[in-house]
Amino acid sequence: MQTLVDSFLSLVSFDSPSFEEDRLALYLEQKLLSLGLSTQYDEAGNLYAYLPGSGPTVLLNAHMDTVELARGAKPVVEHGIIKTDGSTALGADDKAALAAILSVLETIKEKRLDHPNLVVLFTTAEEQGLLGAKKVEKSFLSGIDYGFTFDASQDVGLAITSAPSYDRIEAIFTGKGAHAGFKPETGISAIQMGCDAVSAMHLLRIDTETTANIGSFIAEGAKNIVCDKATLVFEARSLSNEKLEKQVSSMKEALHASAGKHGGTVQIIHDRLYDAYHHESDALVLKIFRKACDTLSLPLREEPTLGGSDANILNALGIPTLVCSIGYEEAHTKGEYISIDQLTKLYLLTMELATL
């Protein structure tokens, strides 16, 4: 049996940015099959595995993809910390979770431990907006009582009790081109329309439950031409759907008002990428998590988040799923790291949740 750290380092050696998870998936599948699980894939490349037991049916979920910055990661182990040489991200998001789940399954087989019915779901393209999870085959997940998504930063022992709905808005302003020196008054500047719209919006931190942001503003053109096209991409998220709808409505109003003011047009494309969820204090999945933390003497924290995960999709499918922190820090940056202590605690917590 590989040690936990060796397993993690092996997984990090696979480049698996979003949409390039195939090699890692095959490696994971071979490991799962060797441990006696049955496996299958769906059309999105999500990997499912099953280990029959007795009692409830429990889902263990993590994602296989990393951000592009983790390509070519060269891990370094120093003073109990696993990081990279500083040229890439590490990919502990979410390979620490993959390593913990594999190690738990190896221990269950080696020690012949009693366990509930276990369903493993390793998803693709999570970093691109939960794209793999959105295409899960619900019939492959039938009969699950509750589940755990291992995918959050901070020390092990944190349970995410709420997560937001998330909307994406793309606004395409169309104006009228004109020579900026000879006849600027005959033009309609798409850049000016976009700027006026943004300046009229309430953005960034709206309240404790709601945020909004402009992620990109693209307006290509020559400096001596009144720009006739500009594309802006916004996001808004909130733990409250009512607040989210109010925020998005105000942003759309600003877009339309600016186009009307300048005599141009705006095309708005609005998508709900995922829906919010909230676990009540007496939810079974939370009770199970608390019991596991108590057994291991882990400091328990229960907090909401304004980030999304596969759990947003799984909860929407009717599978009560709790997001658990897995101990990494500085995800998606060249400074990403995880301590061996936190990786070990993640393994122990996963073991408790998989054998309760």
- 156-190 as b/e, with b when 16 or more CB fall inside 10 Å? bbbbbbbbbbbbbbebbbebebbebeeeeeebbbb
Single out the catalytic residue among 29, 42, 65, 127. 65
Q: Round to whole Å and give the CA distance between 161 and 281.
A: 8
Tokens encoding 252: 């759309």
Enumerate residues 6+ apart whose C-beta is below 8 A from 61: 120, 121, 122, 123, 147, 148, 149, 150, 151, 310, 311, 314, 321
Catalytic residue among 94, 126, 167, 352: 126
Choose among 319, 314, 336, 335: nearest CA to 327: 336
Question: Is the CB of residue 279 less than 8 Å from the CB of residue 320?
Answer: yes
Beta bridge partners, 57, equal 117
- CA 303 to mean position of chain CA atoms: 17
Burial (0-12, 13-18, 19+ Cβ within 10 Å), 110? exposed
As a whole number of Å, the CA-based R_g of the chain is 23
Residue whose pair of structure tokens reads 């006696």 in the numeric block: 36
303 is catalytic: no
Is 126 catalytic? The answer is yes
Catalytic positions, written as ranges: 65, 126
